[in-house]
A and B are shown apart, each in its own frame.
Chain A
């Protein structure tokens, strides 16, 4: 997985609460059994005024300068709620988003981000609102090692993230590989578990 250490880029404001994964990638845009090429369908219903012909909606933030291809999104509370589709994260990734800053995230979406090298960065709502107010051509810098955000208006904000998630992102680790190192412990658990709950294995 691609590592996430430090990122400098434009942050695009999409400050609505409860943006669900159907909105991030509509079902009909999930056309192939593949993670690739989903960026085009990202936010399709908002981004295009004519979805079938890919006619851009000029009012949508990511269709406007300087926010086109922004690698950072400034989102509202409960971003990524709804359907578990990991396609939402693959679409963001394919488009070039590497970090979403929001007051809170849908739980499954948040886990999916970490597994795909996207940083789900939680800041209190007023701080996200301040970043939204200051959003423009000046880039933000996010430093995952230092756990800081340097805002466009020159402030430094700190954030926290579970250490395991941080390590996974910083090192670009493969989650299955990490767990398989614990296989002896899993096998030992399994043996005892089978004895305790034999009915499950009958």
Chain B
């Protein structure tokens, strides 16, 4: 019978059918971070249970770690050091490898895992972190779980999982210049709602996805969870294989040849049946930015803030009204031109080398507007090193950006650093929820190029206009 890619991955990993639409799935890799992983390890230790395969688990320090230059274990988050130390101790006790502070492989778990070849096509991979779906960009079945489930995966190398419904989102046609994966996913969520993918595993496909770089596919998959999907993924292709080859934990020699043979089948069969299919015409996608407090509150950058009076129903109108109040906006206001206080480039959505290159191309020879605090946080120590080897850090620094050590940083507020109450920030992250980047901070989600262009203009700005302008000497 014809199968979708997800169905193929599912049957490869199915240990037992538990009835009622749930299966016991075999889990190839478990990733942890200090925010939620410590408690999973601690819980297991308290129950006297062992980690079944410590060699297939990995810990990244990313969420709470400081990202200011010269950092150590101390963090601005009250009590943050305890998370770091307890995670380190628990991982060492369990014999699990850590990418720790001071190791240049350290970084955001969803950047580090693909970069190290821990995430690979065909694997099942879980992490107590909702953006684990990022790693689906390589053709892995990767999804976010809770801490208790992480303990379950560590103790049994399996999880009880409900079979998701199957969705395919086909991005067809050519993307206009200046439009990328971040715009694609924001556009999709705006069109179909933040709950649009609920209950589904989504395969992103179509000519525009094939044309994307592997890193951009991770950006696309990163926000599958903001679409409420169980996970998202892209079928591995020649680009994926080239990207994965030679990474430290990727198979080598004979094993590499076996892997290639094994991956050949990782595509949806031509006649596979999806429960739902969405087709997006890429020609219609503009640089997209959010105006409100849900990722579905997104518009073309040339758009105006909506009027709740025209909302689909009373609930949506109420949500829009709340969002307008929180964001300090009026119906009908143009998004482009809104003065900003902050600009942030980083997070598991957009902190890979290609993102930094794209932003640097806009920043080169220009300077951040007065009064704007601009920060760049590379996704991993290796991304940072690669960027520095190309001189990108100098472009960021010359433009007036802070250049940080890697970590989640100001993607979310843990009680430490924030842009501040009422500050308007254009950010390459994935969540614009109330207080996500700090109490009262107003987040506008956008691509790294939109963030860079806005930082320079001091207002929400369309990078396409800037890209066309010659840089003043």
Which residues of A line the B interface, CB within 8 A? 16-18, 20, 22-23, 26-28, 30-35, 45, 51, 76-78, 81-86, 89, 104, 106-109, 111-112, 115-116, 162-164, 175-176, 179-180, 182-183, 185-186, 189-190, 193, 196-200, 202
**Contact partners of A200 in chain B: CB under 8 A:** 28, 123, 251, 259
Give the residues from 409 to 468 in chain B that come closer than 8 angstroms, CB to CB, to chain A.
412-415, 431, 433-436, 439
> Does B374 reach chain A (CB closer than 8 Å)?
no
19 extra A-B contacts, CB within 8 A, seeds A31-B79, A78-B195, A200-B259:
A23-B434, A45-B435, A45-B439, A51-B439, A76-B315, A82-B130, A84-B128, A84-B146, A107-B198, A112-B148, A115-B146, A162-B22, A164-B20, A176-B151, A176-B152, A189-B16, A197-B12, A200-B123, A202-B258
> Does B36 reach chain A (CB closer than 8 Å)?
yes
Contact between chains at B434 and A84 (CB < 8 Å): no
Contact between chains at A189 and B26 (CB < 8 Å): yes
Q: Which residue of B lies closest to A109 (CB)?
A: B146
Q: Which residue of B lies closest to A174 (CB)?
A: B47
Which of B15, B146, B414 makes the CB contact (< 8 A) with A27? B414
Contact between chains at B254 and A77 (CB < 8 Å): no
Contact between chains at B256 and A199 (CB < 8 Å): yes
Which of A77, A179, A193, A199 makes the CB contact (< 8 A) with B259? A199
**Contact partners of B439 in chain A: CB under 8 A:** 45, 51
**Contact partners of B435 in chain A: CB under 8 A:** 22-23, 26, 45
Counting chain B CB atoms within 10 Å of each CB, which of A16, A76, A200, A202 scores highest? A200
CA distance A81 to B436 in the complex (A): 13
> Does B351 reach chain A (CB closer than 8 Å)?
no
Shortest beta-carbon distance, A42 to chain B, in Å?
Answer: 14
Contact between chains at A16 and B130 (CB < 8 Å): no
**Contact partners of A78 in chain B: CB under 8 A:** 194-195, 198, 228
Contact between chains at B36 and A163 (CB < 8 Å): no
CA distance A45 to B22 in the complex (A): 37
Give the residues from 301 to 349 in chain B that come closer than 8 angstroms, CB to CB, to chain A.
315-316, 318-319
> Does B149 reach chain A (CB closer than 8 Å)?
yes
Contact between chains at B149 and A111 (CB < 8 Å): yes
CA distance A20 to B228 in the complex (A): 11
21 contacts between A and B (CB under 8 A): A16-B315, A27-B413, A28-B413, A33-B87, A35-B39, A45-B435, A78-B194, A81-B194, A86-B128, A107-B228, A108-B144, A109-B146, A164-B22, A176-B152, A176-B155, A180-B156, A182-B15, A182-B16, A182-B158, A185-B16, A186-B156
**Contact partners of A164 in chain B: CB under 8 A:** 18-20, 22, 160
**Contact partners of B170 in chain A: CB under 8 A:** none
**Contact partners of B256 in chain A: CB under 8 A:** 199
Which of A106, A112, A162, A199 makes the CB contact (< 8 A) with B258? A199
Contact between chains at B413 and A115 (CB < 8 Å): no
**Contact partners of A34 in chain B: CB under 8 A:** 39
Nearest 3 pairs of A and B residues by beta carbon:
A28-B415, A202-B255, A112-B146
CA distance A57 to B224 in the complex (A): 34
Which of B22, B36, B194, B199 makes the CB contact (< 8 A) with A84? B36
**Contact partners of A179 in chain B: CB under 8 A:** 24, 152, 155-156, 158, 160
Shortest beta-carbon distance, A164 to chain B, in Å?
Answer: 6
Give the residues from 73 to 100 in chain B that come closer than 8 angstroms, CB to CB, to chain A.
77-79, 82-83, 86-87
A-contact 0/1 string along B150-175, CB 8 Å cutoff: 01100111101010000000000000
A-contact 0/1 string along B251-282, CB 8 Å cutoff: 11111101100100000000000000000000
Contact between chains at A31 and B78 (CB < 8 Å): yes
Which residues of B line the A interface, CB within 8 A? 12, 15-16, 18-22, 24, 26, 28, 35-36, 38-39, 42, 47, 49, 77-79, 82-83, 86-87, 122-123, 128-130, 144-149, 151-152, 155-158, 160, 162, 194-195, 198-199, 228, 230, 251-256, 258-259, 262, 294, 315-316, 318-319, 412-415, 431, 433-436, 439
Which of B28, B252, B413 makes the CB contact (< 8 A) with A202? B252
Contact between chains at B148 and A86 (CB < 8 Å): yes
Q: Which residue of B lies closest to A85 (CB)?
A: B36
Contact between chains at B20 and A162 (CB < 8 Å): yes
Counting chain B CB atoms within 10 Å of each CB, which of A16, A34, A186 scores highest? A186
Q: A176-B155, A179-B160, A186-B157 are in contact. Are A199 and B251 (CB under 8 A)?
A: yes
Q: A17-B319, A112-B148, A116-B148 are in contact. Are A163 and B156 (CB under 8 A)?
A: no
Counting chain A CB atoms within 10 Å of each CB, which of B20, B78, B195, B413 scores highest? B195
CA distance A16 to B433 in the complex (A): 14
CA distance A106 to B431 in the complex (A): 15
Q: Which residue of B lies closest to A22 (CB)?
A: B433
Contact between chains at A182 and B24 (CB < 8 Å): yes
CA distance A144 to B253 in the complex (A): 55
**Contact partners of A27 in chain B: CB under 8 A:** 412-415
Which of B35, B130, B158, B415 makes the CB contact (< 8 A) with A186? B158
Contact between chains at A106 and B433 (CB < 8 Å): no
Shortest beta-carbon distance, A165 to chain B, in Å?
Answer: 9
Contact between chains at B258 and A104 (CB < 8 Å): no
Which of A16, A23, A175, A198 makes the CB contact (< 8 A) with B160? A175
Contact between chains at A189 and B414 (CB < 8 Å): no
Shortest beta-carbon distance, B63 to chain A, in Å?
Answer: 9
Contact between chains at B255 and A199 (CB < 8 Å): yes
Q: Which residue of B lies closest to A44 (CB)?
A: B435
**Contact partners of A112 in chain B: CB under 8 A:** 146, 148-149
CA distance A23 to B258 in the complex (A): 47
Which of B122, B255, B434 makes the CB contact (< 8 A) with A45? B434
Q: A86-B128, A176-B47 are in contact. Are A77 and B251 (CB under 8 A)?
A: no
Shortest beta-carbon distance, A197 to chain B, in Å?
Answer: 6
CA distance A23 to B145 in the complex (A): 18
CA distance A162 to B23 in the complex (A): 12
CA distance A14 to B213 in the complex (A): 42
**Contact partners of A111 in chain B: CB under 8 A:** 145-146, 149
**Contact partners of A33 in chain B: CB under 8 A:** 38-39, 42, 82-83, 86-87
Q: Which residue of A lies closest to B199 (CB)?
A: A107
